[in-house]
Amino acid sequence: MKVITIRLPEGVVKELDLLIECGRYSSRAEVIREAVRELVRKELISARAQVGKVYG
């Protein structure tokens, strides 16, 4: 797994921490990985749909 460094607004970090405190995730890294996976999935679905409109 590749390590990257990001900067987030303090409010977003507090929201991540709330998700962890609620027991939904075990770490900030886990929350961020899941969010990135979901974003990439949605973007790829959207991109594929656009390609389909152009070539379909």
Q: Is the per-residue pLDDT at 49 higher than 90?
A: no
Which 8-state DSSP code applies to residue 8?
-
Give the span between the Cα atoms of 56 and 20, in whole angstroms. Answer: 43
- In tens, the pLDDT along 3-39 reads 999 999 999 999 999 999 999 999 999 999 999 999 9
Answer whether residue 2 is part of any domain: no
Answer whether residue 14 is part of any domain: yes
Give the span between the Cα atoms of 18 and 11, in whole angstroms. Answer: 11
Q: Higher pLDDT residue, 11 or 53?
A: 11
Q: Higher pLDDT residue, 51 or 29?
A: 29
Q: What is the pLDDT of residue 56?
A: 59
Containing structural domain, residue 50:
10-55
Give the span between the Cα atoms of 15 and 23, in whole angstroms. Answer: 13
Answer whether residue 25 is part of any domain: yes
Say how many domains are in the chain.
1
Rg (the chain; Cα; Å): 16
Q: Which residue has the tokens 């460094």?
A: 5
Q: What is the pLDDT of residue 23?
A: 97
